[in-house]
A = this chain, B = another copy of it.
């Protein structure tokens, strides 16, 4: 078992830097969420990790080897992405057959169970599927290949609420049947809080959070009360945002609470949930003044 690492990974499109000096260390057999605002570079990062596109500088390292286009162990890495690499006039059955040829063995039992559960007829063509069903089919394929690292780029894009719940359960089931590393990107942050073990957040071309879910939530606080007392208590802590509603002032912080600081009776401290923490961590100033 070997970690998948990036070393000083940088990606430019023309003059624009989209990923800057990323040093990541993805453990084997772990479910990760890759979060970030629209355009933060999530898809670009996953495409580089899966060797679909190349970094501008830096490297991706696995089993002490630099992974490059030529020597890439294709069967160990699989990317499910928005860009549909399937032939649209192909039947689902045929795509599974072709994928098996390329990726090695295929978990036909899981695929069949999922096709049935989602009422997907394998005789259908990709072109006959709706947006949501295309996503579902691509995810079924991604969970059924024998790869050690599976990258799911928005596996719930266009899925209705019931199908989202089903898909989360199948991701867990696939993982329990055979442990592997799964990195999934999504915009429905709260829904994956119980699914993933570790969170990566991309913002402004950098990784700003690389943390276990528990640690991230443990450090996410909302501190409310009279402004002066809240500000005094929060001095020196990482403040993500603050707001004043009437007489109530609230600071959103991402930090361990100082053990030696007394909490005055007038202030109330509570944990933020994952979605709130994410929004505060990634918000741009004055964005919502429509």
Residues in A lying within 8 Å of B, measured CB to CB: 13, 36-39, 43, 82, 117, 128-133, 136, 154, 157-163, 165-166, 169-170, 173, 187, 189, 275, 278-279, 282-284, 287-288, 290
Question: A128 contacts B159, CB within 8 Å?
Answer: no
Question: B275 contacts A162, CB within 8 Å?
Answer: no
Report the Cα distance A157→B187, complex, angstroms: 10
Report the Cα distance A157→B166, complex, angstroms: 19
Q: Which of B136, B162, B284, B288 contacts A288 (CB 8 A)?
A: B162
Question: B170 contacts A187, CB within 8 Å?
Answer: no
Q: Which of B39, B189, B283, B290 contacts A169 (CB 8 A)?
A: B290
Question: B38 contacts A133, CB within 8 Å?
Answer: yes
Question: A131 contacts B157, CB within 8 Å?
Answer: yes
Chain B residues with CB under 8 A of A187: 132, 158-161
Residue of B nearest to A113 (CB): B290
Report the Cα distance A163→B193, complex, angstroms: 21
Given the known A-B contacts A161-B187, A283-B162, are A131 and B82 also in contact in the complex, defined by CB atoms under 8 Å? yes
Question: A162 contacts B131, CB within 8 Å?
Answer: no
A39-B129, A158-B187 given; 17 more Cβ-contact pairs under 8 Å = A37-B163, A38-B130, A38-B136, A38-B158, A39-B132, A43-B130, A43-B131, A117-B290, A131-B157, A159-B187, A160-B187, A161-B275, A161-B278, A162-B284, A162-B287, A166-B287, A166-B290
